Amino acid sequence: MNLAKPENLPAFTLDSTFKKALLDRFVRYVKVNTRSSDTSESFPSTKEQWDLLKMLEQELKELGLKDIGLDEHGYLFATLPSNLPEGRKAPAIGLLAHVDTYPGTSGENVKPQVIDYQGGDLVLPGDPSQVIKADHPQLSKCVGKTVITTDGTTLLGADDKAGIAVIMTQLDWLLKHPEVPHGDIRIGFTPDEEIGKGTLHFDVKRFGAFAAYTFDGSLLGEIEDETFCADGATATITGFDVHPGQAKNVMVSAIRAAAHLVSLLPKDHLPETTEKRESFLHPVAINGEVGQSVVRFIVRGFTEEDLAARRKSLEEIAAQTEKDFPGAKVAVEFKVQYRNMKQVLDKHPEIVELAMEAVRRTGETPMLNSIRGGTDGAQLSFKGLPTPNVFAGAINFHGKQEWVCLEWMAKSVETGLHLAFLWGQQEAR
């Protein structure tokens, strides 16, 4: 693997002009409400995602990218063509980010707050009860830097509009520095990642990259090569409804049985009691009536064995609920969502190694971590496009206290620039 030094090339760093452009892009993108919906039958799940996709399509055209295409499913692809000397060919790489935001928190009328952070608690002005504490382990690292928060009434949308702004700024910089050699760089902006459907119609062959990177991570210098193995589960509880005046010894309440089932979940296998590589069962929605109620779960474990153990636990709880509520029937169905991308990435170690080297070349120390969640990269890896995850600087995903550090975003841009150069030194596969 060729790790050539960028001799006689400009420093791969962002000056104040590019940092301002990065900030301007980010603020512009987060003001577009792209909240996805896990109850929608359309794809993308919300029409608002098209607003940002079309905005990005126009900006890619203005930058001068090639092969720009926005398809009927909301996948926006483009190419920054190779500038390698004639006769040299490097593997094409992909840069990916998703346009949608988490459906559980409002993304309407986002009011980003750009703060020259000098320490102390950050009281969010739209809702003073929302306070990002000064002792937050990441915020304390950002004294003297620019921090962008919400106003406390919505999420920020840095997941993953920070990644989008990072990629667009990488492209802008490379186009203004044609002396930096790189191979073909494919761009992909995708919908509905937050509801687990981001790769449903993603055509890996049409995308045409050897490897890709999702810019959808968090901490400065972090590269993630591992996700959970993930299933969805539905427990359907069927009871027996009758007029409450005649219910004695007859009614079987599916509502009460559902509540009982949730109460039986092992307390040491919940998301709020686990960390690092520990697995969990997580009830995410419950609805229904006396006659029938449904509880939806996500089931997570880093290994297939841990995942199977959590599935077995849910099946045992379902059986116990039937015993505790005579006459009730509990049917549990599982659906595969994604598997640990490390199973694929370990077969292509250079993809992660080059990302780690790219971080080093920015002057930061790379951290190789596991994601307690998933990315589009997990599903894409199993579709034939190995795709680890690169930090984009966002913290407190999905909530009203979400924030991002501009300088960390800039380091993410620089990581992508080094990635482009390093892959440009590799031989085509």
* Closest alpha carbon to 402 in 113, 184, 166, 89: 113
Do 193 and 222 fall within a single domain?
A: yes
Under a CB-based contact definition with an 8 Å cutoff, are residues 181 and 81 in contact?
no
Helix or strand run (H / E) with residue 329? strand 329-338
* Closest alpha carbon to 128 in 145, 153, 108: 153
- Classified as helix, coil or strand, 310 is helix
- Identify the pLDDT of residue 57: 98
- Identify the pLDDT of residue 256: 98
Confidence label for 227 from pLDDT (cuts 50, 70 and 90): very high
Confidence label for 39 from pLDDT (cuts 50, 70 and 90): confident
- Identify the pLDDT of residue 196: 85
Instruction: For residue 127, give the amino acid letter.
Output: D
Do 215 and 162 fall within a single domain?
A: yes
Do 107 and 206 fall within a single domain?
A: yes
Of the ranges 10-14, 350-354, 385-389, 411-415, which one carries the lowest mean pLDDT score? 10-14
* Closest alpha carbon to 328 in 380, 252, 277: 252
Mean pLDDT computed over 337-363: 96
- CATH code, 43: 3.40.630.10
Of 291, 315, 337, the residue that ends a domain is: 337
Do 300 and 328 fall within a single domain?
A: yes
Instruction: Kindly state whether residue 34 falls inside one of the protein's structural domains.
Output: yes
CA gap 380, 387 in Å, rounded: 7
User: How many Cβ atoms from other residues are within 10 Å of residue 23's Cβ?
Assistant: 19
- Identify the pLDDT of residue 55: 98
- The residue annotated as part of the active site, out of 193, 222, 402, 414, is 193
pTM for the predicted model, two decimal places = 0.91
**For 16-33, how does the pLDDT look when each residue is reduced to its tens digit (9 = 90+)?**
999 999 999 999 999 999
Instruction: Kindly state whether residue 9 falls inside one of the protein's structural domains.
Output: no
CA gap 83, 77 in Å, rounded: 19
Q: Reply yes or no on whether 100 is catalytic.
A: yes
CA gap 351, 358 in Å, rounded: 11
**For 110-169, how does the pLDDT look when each residue is reduced to its tens digit (9 = 90+)?**
999 999 999 999 999 999 999 999 999 999 999 999 999 999 999 999 999 999 999 999
Under a CB-based contact definition with an 8 Å cutoff, are residues 26 and 161 in contact?
yes
CA gap 135, 121 in Å, rounded: 8
- Identify the pLDDT of residue 113: 97
- Identify the pLDDT of residue 9: 86
Do 55 and 84 fall within a single domain?
A: yes
**For 237-250, how does the pLDDT look when each residue is reduced to its tens digit (9 = 90+)?**
999 999 999 999 99
DSSP 250-297: T-B-HHHHHHHHHHTS-GGGSGGG--TT--EEEEEEEEE-SSEEEEEE
Of 319, 337, 355, the residue that ends a domain is: 337
User: Is the predicted pLDDT of residue 2 greater than 80, yes or no?
Assistant: no
Mean pLDDT computed over 167-186: 97
How far, in Å, are 28, 41, 48, 50, 408 from residue 76 at the CA level?
18, 20, 15, 10, 26
- Identify the pLDDT of residue 5: 81
- The residue annotated as part of the active site, out of 48, 100, 160, 225, is 100
Under a CB-based contact definition with an 8 Å cutoff, are residues 355 and 387 in contact?
no
**For 84-93, how does the pLDDT look when each residue is reduced to its tens digit (9 = 90+)?**
998 899 999 9
Do 332 and 348 fall within a single domain?
A: no
* Closest alpha carbon to 43 in 161, 194, 201: 201
The residues near 296 (Cβ < 8 Å, ≥ 6 apart) are: 232, 233, 234, 235, 283, 284, 285, 286
Do 408 and 264 fall within a single domain?
A: no
CA gap 160, 35 in Å, rounded: 11
Q: Reply yes or no on whether 160 is catalytic.
A: no
Instruction: For residue 68, give the amino acid letter.
Output: I
Confidence label for 329 from pLDDT (cuts 50, 70 and 90): very high
What mean pLDDT value characterizes the chain?
A: 95
Beta bridge partners of 351: none
Mean pLDDT computed over 250-271: 97
Instruction: Kindly state whether residue 1 falls inside one of the protein's structural domains.
Output: no
User: Is the predicted pLDDT of residue 1 greater than 80, yes or no?
Assistant: no
Do 68 and 92 fall within a single domain?
A: yes
Both tokens of residue 236?
């359907």
Instruction: Kindly state whether residue 38 falls inside one of the protein's structural domains.
Output: yes
- Identify the pLDDT of residue 217: 87
Find the domain containing 326 and state its range. 229-337
Distance between alpha carbon 408 and the CA centroid of its chain, in Å?
A: 17
Total domain count, the chain = 2
Q: What's 372's DSSP letter?
A: S
- Identify the pLDDT of residue 302: 95
